[in-house]
Structure 1
Amino acid sequence: MSSLSNKKVVVLSGIGAVLEFYDFCLYIVFSKEISATFFSGIESEILKGIFTVIIFSIAYIIRPFAGTLLGSIGDVIGRKKLFTFTIMLMGICSFLMGVLPGYATLGITATVLFVALRVLQGVALGGELPAAYVIVYESVQKNFGAAFGLLFTFITFGFLFSDLVAYFFGVLFGDYAWRMSFIFGGILAFFGYYVRLNLHETPQFLNLQKKDKIPFLVLFKKYSLRVVAGTCLTVVIAFGGVMLTLYMHELVGKLIDLPSSEISFILAPSLLALSIATYVFGYRADKIGLRKTYAIACFLLLILVFPSIYIITSIKTPLAVIFGTSVLTILFGMYVSVALYFICDLFPTDVRLSGVGLSYNLAFALVGGFAPLASHSIAVISGKIYLGFSIVAIVCALLGLFGLFLYNRNLNKLYKSKII
């Protein structure tokens, strides 16, 4: 990135994303504790597990609707206003989750309220990340790989931050660690809100002469094929965000009988590797080409996912988990650092946030809503845990390559540039 102002945009966008993603990830980090607190009325442990996965999926299923609605609002009122709203919503939900009485006190009301707050978190995240990507895309003039790589480094630190806080709060507060983590996240979100007040509206939005009153109608009428392309481009990002960083926590918990806080500590090195890889590969992609980096990442994922997950599920030791997950997260970092550019580049300014919001969140709804269940079902039927995970990863990588094909075939004439 060539200027201090560009770096400021990425850093300010990233700081808020760290705090918001921290809040969102706490649910899966403390899934066992939350299940015991709010689903204790369900006697069957199998049903408890299924219900926990369903609640995890609901927050993703709601995101396409939230992303389209909030994206359209952002295309009308501006990116900054939407950006400040989403972090406040996430923070309020996180704080209320931390102080909400459990099933033993409120009965089924506690369960319903917790689910409602989780849904609102999904709404907030549905507008948060697309806004961050669009703000960076519209503010940075070149070196998009480095810019998006740095932004996603901040986002992945949100995963890492949630794991580290879970570990240390587990040591400090014991059984109350999950509540203190949510309350802490709510407080941090208010800090993130004030940080975002220092952001300026993007030049491209300010220079937009005509703003559509209902951008999502224009999106569906004129750019439906680009939504398909954007969704396919996002599928691998969704796989990484859901299966590698969130679902992996639950998977490792089944393989190694340890408290949630210690599992978080075991997974921390792979998240650190992801944080580093996103920026390093983004920086290198600006030198060798974004398309080439994207294609290489997809092919490597196709080749390496099976042996990596086999090592994790067959050896079942902390070192095996660290090695296998680190290989996969490094590949994910290579992919995501360049894919975000293509997704934003698909849409013109007047519907960009709507288009990115729908494409990005639709992919996360499909992967977040169905990939864990598909992986689990294949594992149960086959008796092999690694098989379900690998099949889901391979399907996602193939869809990612198809997304690049759609981008090249349908949009190549519009976007001929040395940077890609």
Structure 2
Amino acid sequence: MSSSLPLPVGASAETSPSLSRKDVQTLGLSALGGTLEFYDFVIYVFFATVLGKLFFPVDMPDWLRQLQTFGIFAAGYLSRPLGGIIIAHFGDILGRKRMFTLSIFMMAVPTLVIGLLPTYASIGVAAPLLLLAMRVLQGAAIGGEMPGAWVFVAEHVPAKRYGFGVGALTAGITGGILLGSLVAMAINRHYSPADVSDFAWRIPFILGGVFGLISVYLRRFLHETPVFQELAKRRTVARELPLKTILREHRAACVLVALLTWVLSAAVVVVVLMTPSYLQKVHGIAPTLALEANAVATLMLTLGCVLAGWANDRFGTRPVMLLGFGGLVLTSYLFYTGLPGTPTSLIWSYGLVGLFVGSIAMVPIVGVRAFPAAVRFSGLSFAYNMSYAIFGGLTPIIITLWVQKDVLAPAHYVAALAAMGFVLGLVPMSSRGYQKK
């Protein structure tokens, strides 16, 4: 970032370039909260089949039950923009910390409630309606949590550790997917299908809610960001509706972040969330092997986020974006064209593409600094959540229809979006961030 920029991302020039104990505490508590919150959001998909049988009539056709179950899941995506805009609005006016704590509270309570909900057999149509309401609240919470967490950490860590801080936090957030996958595997291995349907499906939701509330308590020990404190001291906190300023003055930044978010959503939704089902249905791979390979890929994704953040600080944004997204193009084709392969080749190639999916950490690294401090939270939240709601929702439909005609549809889609990420790495704003005119 240029030294002429007021209130740059990261700590002040007097701050040590190394992470202090306070920085590590901030990063650790933020990452832990992000892991638990994203776990709460995705655990639904791992038990969607069971939830469909319990929350809809038994005589409903299976295809319709599945459609409505995933429709409720999709409602979480659709409510992200609204929750993100509202939470970010007050985050730019009242402070990052308050909204950062509120978002995880809004996720923990609905998750706990889902684990305690009566089923359709007990209360009829009220059961799916309550489930829908909880998913809407979860979506609103995650819409505020992710941009809020990125801004919070970015404004705390020293400028020379900015990439590592954001990358490590992103790793913590994506670790929620891994945690959800591991918990689902443990529940299904420890309990019989009858036990899972009877009571065991509730365990991961109750655990997620309880640990989420613990995370709310732990965030009491976080401090407001130095950047927001300086804004408040200078009385430059946003006075008008921050979204109005963004749409009037920062449209280019919104477009850049929205396109990069499309890249992120393609990589996460296709490679991590959809591929286990694709492996089973298209290539006849055993469910256990598919889930184990997916767990390896998700672990490599988590490591890849940290690596991308570290490399950003060491080598700069543009080289990391070009190498990361270029590598994602190549490894996507390497993985999908090599299927079904052997168990060893499946795990190895899935893990490799997962590592390059870690390049998605560059999205918040670029996105946070694309907006000035006064409207940073709102700008990132608006562009990120609107794009994710559109493309995250459309991607499963596109891939499902496309794969009927071409089994390599996932490879083509991910590679095409990764190529766009490569091109966006050449855009000056990606490297320089917001420039005061």
Name the CA distance, whole Å, in 1 between partners of 2:285 and 2:65: 18
The equivalent of 2:114 in structure 1 is: 97
Partner amino acid, structure 2, of 1:100: L
CA distance 1:414–1:358, change in 2 (3 Å): same
Name the CA distance, whole Å, in 2 between partners of 1:20 and 1:399: 29
Name the CA distance, whole Å, in 1 between partners of 2:273 and 2:412: 18
SS of 2:77 mapped into structure 1: helix
Q: How does 1:336-351 map to 2 (within 5 A)?
A: 336-351=360-375
Partner amino acid, structure 2, of 1:226: A
Q: How does 1:6-25 map to 2 (within 5 A)?
A: 6-25=23-42
Q: How does 1:213-252 map to 2 (within 5 A)?
A: 213=239, 214-252=241-279
Q: How does 1:323-338 map to 2 (within 5 A)?
A: 323-333=348-358, 335-338=359-362
CA distance 1:137–1:108, change in 2 (3 Å): same
Partner amino acid, structure 2, of 1:386: L
Segment of structure 1 superposing worse, 127-136 or 159-168: 159-168
How far is the alpha carbon of 1:401 from its aligned partner? 3.6
Selected match of 1:363 from 367, 372, 387: 387
Question: Structure 1: any 5+ residue segments left out of the alignment?
Answer: 416-420
The equivalent of 2:7 in structure 1 is: none
Name the CA distance, whole Å, in 2 between partners of 1:410 and 1:331: 20
The question of whether the paired residues in 2 share the 8 Å contact of 1:242 and 1:367 is answered with: no
The equivalent of 2:162 in structure 1 is: 144
The equivalent of 2:8 in structure 1 is: none
Selected match of 1:211 from 237, 243, 248: 237
Selected match of 1:160 from 160, 178, 195: 178
Name the CA distance, whole Å, in 1 between partners of 2:182 and 2:435: 44
1:133-161 CA deviation, whole Å, 9 max, x = no partner? 00111112222222122112211221111
Name the CA distance, whole Å, in 2 between partners of 1:30 and 1:318: 25
The question of whether the paired residues in 1 share the 8 Å contact of 2:268 and 2:357 is answered with: no
SS of 1:142 mapped into structure 2: helix
Name the CA distance, whole Å, in 1 between partners of 2:377 and 2:426: 22
Segment of structure 1 superposing worse, 319-328 or 97-106: 319-328
1:118-137 CA deviation, whole Å, 9 max, x = no partner? 11111000000101000111
SS of 1:26 mapped into structure 2: helix
TM-score by length of 1: 0.90
TM-score by length of 2: 0.86
The equivalent of 2:13 in structure 1 is: none
Aligned residues: 408
How far is the alpha carbon of 1:66 from its aligned partner? 1.8
Partner amino acid, structure 1, of 2:206: I
The equivalent of 1:26 in structure 2 is: 43
How far is the alpha carbon of 1:337 from its aligned partner? 3.0
How far is the alpha carbon of 1:321 from its aligned partner? 4.2
Partner amino acid, structure 1, of 2:75: I
Name the CA distance, whole Å, in 2 between partners of 1:412 and 1:281: 17
Q: Identity of paired residues, percent?
A: 29
The root-mean-square deviation of aligned C-alpha atoms, in Å, is 2.4
1:283-312 CA deviation, whole Å, 9 max, x = no partner? 233222221101121222222312312334
2:73 equivalent to 1:47: no
Question: Structure 2: any 5+ residue segments left out of the alignment?
Answer: 1-17
Selected match of 1:377 from 401, 410, 433: 401
CA distance 1:321–1:31, change in 2 (3 Å): farther
Partner amino acid, structure 2, of 1:36: K
The question of whether the paired residues in 2 share the 8 Å contact of 1:234 and 1:360 is answered with: yes
The equivalent of 2:87 in structure 1 is: 70
The equivalent of 2:377 in structure 1 is: 353
Name the CA distance, whole Å, in 2 between partners of 1:251 and 1:42: 28
The equivalent of 1:109 in structure 2 is: 126
Report the structure, 1 or 2, having the larger helix content: 1
Selected match of 2:412 from 386, 391, 396: 391
